[in-house]
Amino acid sequence: MAEWPFAVLRALSDGKFHSGEAIAQSLGCSRTLIWQAVHTIETEFGLPVFSVRGQGYRLPQPMDWLDVAAIRADLSPGCSEDWTIAVADQVDSTNTQLLSRANSDGLHGLVLAAELQSAGRGRLGRRWQARLGDCLMFSLLWRFDRGLAELAGLSLAVGLALARVLRQLGAPVELKWPNDVLLGGCKMAGILIELSGDALGPAAVVIGIGINLREPQDVDQAVSALSSCGVEVSRNRLLALLLNELHGVLQTFNSQGFAPFADAWMALSAHQDQPVRLSFSHGEPIEGVARGVADNGALLVDTASGRQTFHVGEVSLRSLG
């Protein structure tokens, strides 16, 4: 049963030793079940559990669980009422969950954060994988008055909100078009925006965000984490700070679009005036020099055949520096 590993993890949250017998007693189950749960924690969740004869089980470090009350405690009074927050131990994908509600009863400002995702998704059909406790993963549902056609720069505005919060915490992050947050040139956070609605509006948007707090293992690209620049923050506080910032950014975007954010975005761009290569799902790559973004979030690149404009979609950007 999926609940037992989480129940055992909660019993071990303080990072101290607990005997199998004491845990079994407190949970009202057999010691065999505890043993099986520990096995699942190690093999499926990828978390080591120290086991010492005569002392019991212990986690390498205390667990900082997602907690609605702790998140709400750091929300600004001005936006607190607009967020409805839920946390889950394990879901397929927080984006998938909120998308299924976007067309029906899903509340504007609904937030779902998860400890684990069994089918976390990234852009361009990629997977998003994270070990329990190492990453802040959440999605939010936001309803815009504008239609889908006017939401092109949204992922950049969301990236800017993330960068502002992370920089305030002391992480010198930069932005990569269209929506990655980099630390030391490697990806630290990703954004997956999924839309539901009509071209002319209104639109329901699910914004999914994953931020590495500790370096993930077994991923196939160079990645970074908040801890690598010495920033220690609980996922609950980080989520609250992000919701405070996102609230203002999403409201401004709803009324004015991306234009008010363009200068701030370019000031944090990792590739401003740098040589880049753009790859497409079809066709040859294009090389040029990144020259910032237009008022709708499109990327401007000076190429051999003049200045070209690229829209958010099936484009990947690489530094040539």
Q: Pick one of 191, 241, 290, 317: the residue that binds ligand BTN (CB under 6 A).
A: 191
State how far the alpha carbon of 114 is from the alpha carbons of 20, 90, 95, 276, 318, in Å.
Answer: 27, 6, 11, 35, 30
Here the tokens at position 266 are: 């370019």
Distance (Å, whole) CA 196 – CA 162: 23
Please identify, using beta-carbon distances, which residue of 57 and 265 lies nearer to ligand BTN.
Answer: 265
Please identify, using beta-carbon distances, which residue of 8 and 209 lies nearer to ligand BTN.
Answer: 209
Distance (Å, whole) CA 197 – CA 204: 6
- Of the CA atoms within 13 Å of residue 195, those in its CB half-sphere come to 19
Number of residues located near ligand BTN, criterion CB under 6 A: 20
Interstrand relation of 180-183 and 203-212 (parallel, antiparallel or unpaired): unpaired
Q: Is 123 a catalytic residue?
A: yes
Task: Select from 158, 145, 182 the least CA-distant residue to 312.
Answer: 158
Q: Pick one of 153, 208, 288, 297: the residue that binds ligand BTN (CB under 6 A).
A: 208
Q: Is 187 a catalytic residue?
A: yes
DSSP bridge pairs for 277: 287, 318
DSSP bridge pairs for 141: 110, 206
Does the footprint of ligand BTN cover residue 257 (CB under 6 A)? no
Q: Is 318 a catalytic residue?
A: yes
Q: Pick one of 83, 110, 117, 177: the residue that binds ligand BTN (CB under 6 A).
A: 117
Please identify, using beta-carbon distances, which residue of 34 and 91 lies nearer to ligand BTN.
Answer: 91
Does the footprint of ligand BTN cover residue 147 (CB under 6 A)? no
Closest separation in Å from C-beta 220 to ligand BTN: 13
Please identify, using beta-carbon distances, which residue of 137 and 204 lies nearer to ligand BTN.
Answer: 137
Closest separation in Å from C-beta 15 to ligand BTN: 26
Site for ligand BTN, rule CB under 6 A: 93-95, 117, 120-123, 126, 128, 137-139, 180, 190-192, 208-210
